[in-house]
Structure 1
Amino acid sequence: MKIAQLLHNPGAGDEDHSKKGLMDLIKSEGFDCRYASTEKRDWKELRSDVDFLVVAGGDGTVRRVAKHLLNRKLIEKPYPIALLPSGTANNIAGALRIPVDRPEAVVRSWKADWRKRFDVGLVEGLPKPQFFLESIGYGVFPQLMNEMEDQQEKSTDAPEEKMKVALDVLAGIVQSYEARSCQIEVDGVDHSGNYLLVEVMNTRSIGPNLGLAPAADPGDGQFDIVLVSESQRMGLITYVQNRLKGIEGDFWGTALKGRTVRAKWDGIEMHLDDQLVSTKKPRDIRVMMHEGALSFLGVPD
């Protein structure tokens, strides 16, 4: 019997994602299951007889677990990660094609032990080295994160409502945001210009489930670099407004493929995944690929 270590964010999800509900579900499919709350300090104490980790939470919880695994010593046991997504956006689960609404099928699929390599972006040029799972970027998304902090008291706990509020705020930002200069090279080729948005993406979607890079594969060893110029403003506005109306679809804007990115943005704010990063002055950064740094249990087709 394989042993699963459940790492649970009790603040994410509904009653179906309670400690008891999740434990019962995992055990019902024939796995032994141990529990740890990510709100407690001891969740990082991983025993060597554990076969895989189960992260029950949103993208932020996945990032916390990934950070711990990436900081472990090379001689320590590597653990594949299984996901039971229960956050607001669940962009990482989406990149792995793990459904949010079929937890029983997801848990059952773990028996196949189908593993998906997951690349990690490494960032140099900040006060200390950083990593990302989803994306790093400039422009309208850091602005959205700033403005959403002011919306926290107004929003509810319902994921659908949070997404709608974020899209509504983003729609206003895109209409008025002033394009800024960005010096950017992708694999040594210059693509500098004035942009509303610059995103180096490892997943297909970011933020409130915006599919800016539909061709992105987090295990293909390449980033998808999305650039939105002034001439593409209306396309981005239309895309966000369609999402507000419930119309699905991917953004059609410019996307490049590359392994190494150098960038300097005319501004002091950027984001790393769901974290806002502010610096005292514009910085030259270098983004590199760490191929297959993590391993996730996927759902076979």
Structure 2
Amino acid sequence: MKKAQIIHNPTAGNAGHSKENIIELIEKEGFVTNYFTTDDENWESFSNNEMDVIFLAGGDGTIRKLASAMIESKMCESHIPIYLLPMGTANNIAKSIGIFKKLSAVPSKKEEEIQKFTCGKLKGIKAENFFLEGAGFGVFPELIRQMKEREKDDETSDEKLKRTLRVLLEIVKNFKAQKAKIKTDGLKIKGSFLLVELMNIKYIGPNLKFAPNADVEDDFLDLVLIPEAKRKAFVQYIESLINETSELRDIRNFIKILRVEKLEIKWKGSKLHVDDILVDDYDGKKIRMEMNSKTLEFFTNSPVYQEILKEKSGT
């Protein structure tokens, strides 16, 4: 029997998932399990256990915690595949690699297909040196700050996504654009921006598909720019999402996207984000961003995985 290491964030999303339920689902499929919750003080010690696969039950933040632990312990070199059970609010990483909560949304692929996921690398920030989703400046660091200040425990994931859009709308209306200097692949870019993002995945924030062609397996990142002059179009886009109308949904109305291998940036503001982590003491010095050599591996399709997703989603 294969040995499965379970890593579980019991507070992810609306916390509608228990230790017992997750263990039961996985053991039902023939695995011998070992369980850790990210609330455990020494949960990173899971890396000392024998395992054939990892089951990760949580959201985007939990995936980052696991990636950090695997990079620190050099587990990435062991190529241990991860079964991702998306239980967070946005689940942007899962959506970007084609893993959805409902079985009917899982694309048909070859049995036991592995999706390689290359991390990004940062230089010039003391606290954070890698990213999975992306890193950037402007309205999203402010959104992270405000959402942390306005946490609610009694809302569903869908309700939180809607509330996040409403908060983002007010930020975009009032955010003071900041100047940026960017050097990337032989280009020099200057201007005042509402948003500068270097994205590794397709989605950001409340499921906004700002990098539709992002590929987590290649050696490129997507530089996403929203200049101050496009504020009105950006506002209209968010309003169309909140009101669930199809008008003004084309991101090309306000976004510029460049495929890049690496870049250097200076930003006038004091805040940036690295994945869902807010860095609020940025000193304005040059930051370098590029792809890393560290790679995670996710199962995106298998009979076992489909059965677990099926039972978990109630389909």
- What is the TM-score with the length of structure 2 in the denominator? 0.86
State whether residues 126 and 283 of structure 1, in contact with CA within 8 Å, keep that contact through their aligned partners in structure 2: no
CA distance in 1, matches of 2:109, 2:54: 11
CA distance in 1, matches of 2:135, 2:256: 16
Match of 2:265 among 255, 263, 266: 263
CA distance in 2, matches of 1:188, 1:143: 30
Instruction: Tell me the SS of whatever aligns to 1:127.
Output: coil
| Residue 49 (structure 1) aligns with | 50
Instruction: Tell me the SS of whatever aligns to 2:135.
Output: strand
1:15, distance to aligned residue in structure 2 (A):
7.3
State whether residues 112 and 301 of structure 2, in contact with CA within 8 Å, keep that contact through their aligned partners in structure 1: no
Matches within 5 A, 1:30-109: 30-44=30-44, 45-47=46-48, 49-73=50-74, 77-102=78-103
1:76, distance to aligned residue in structure 2 (A):
6.5
Quickly say closer, same or farther: Cα 1:51–1:144, change in 2 above 3 A.
same
| Residue 194 (structure 1) aligns with | 192
Quickly say closer, same or farther: Cα 1:128–1:274, change in 2 above 3 A.
closer
Q: Which moved more, 1:41-50 or 1:109-118?
A: 109-118
Quickly say closer, same or farther: Cα 1:292–1:251, change in 2 above 3 A.
farther
Quickly say closer, same or farther: Cα 1:111–1:84, change in 2 above 3 A.
farther
Instruction: Tell me the SS of whatever aligns to 2:120.
Output: strand
Instruction: Tell me the SS of whatever aligns to 1:112.
Output: coil
State whether residues 121 and 289 of structure 1, in contact with CA within 8 Å, keep that contact through their aligned partners in structure 2: yes
Matches within 5 A, 1:1-301: 1-13=1-13, 17-44=17-44, 45-47=46-48, 49-73=50-74, 77-102=78-103, 112-128=111-127, 130-153=129-152, 156-247=154-245, 251-252=251-252, 253-279=255-281, 281-291=283-293, 293-299=295-301
CA distance in 1, matches of 2:301, 2:182: 36
RMSD: 2.6
Runs (5+) with no aligned partner, structure 1: none
1:250, distance to aligned residue in structure 2 (A):
6.1
Number of aligned residue pairs: 297
1:13, distance to aligned residue in structure 2 (A):
4.6
1:75-120 Cα distance to aligned partner (Å, 9 max, x none): 97342221001011101101111011339x97xx999332111111
State whether residues 202 and 211 of structure 2, in contact with CA within 8 Å, keep that contact through their aligned partners in structure 1: yes
Give the letter aligned to residue 288 of structure 2: R
Give the letter aligned to residue 157 of structure 2: P
CA distance in 1, matches of 2:282, 2:100: 41
- What is the TM-score with the length of structure 1 in the denominator? 0.90
CA distance in 1, matches of 2:209, 2:245: 12
1:56, distance to aligned residue in structure 2 (A):
0.1
CA distance in 2, matches of 1:69, 1:198: 29
Quickly say closer, same or farther: Cα 1:112–1:48, change in 2 above 3 A.
farther
CA distance in 1, matches of 2:76, 2:162: 45
Give the letter aligned to residue 80 of structure 2: Y
1:110-150 Cα distance to aligned partner (Å, 9 max, x none): 99332111111111011255111001010111111222233
1:171, distance to aligned residue in structure 2 (A):
0.6
CA distance in 1, matches of 2:259, 2:245: 27
Give the letter aligned to residue 139 of structure 1: G
Instruction: Tell me the SS of whatever aligns to 1:63.
Output: helix
State whether residues 272 and 282 of structure 2, in contact with CA within 8 Å, keep that contact through their aligned partners in structure 1: no
Moved over 4 A (4+): 13-16, 247-250
Runs (5+) with no aligned partner, structure 2: 303-315
CA distance in 2, matches of 1:40, 1:273: 22
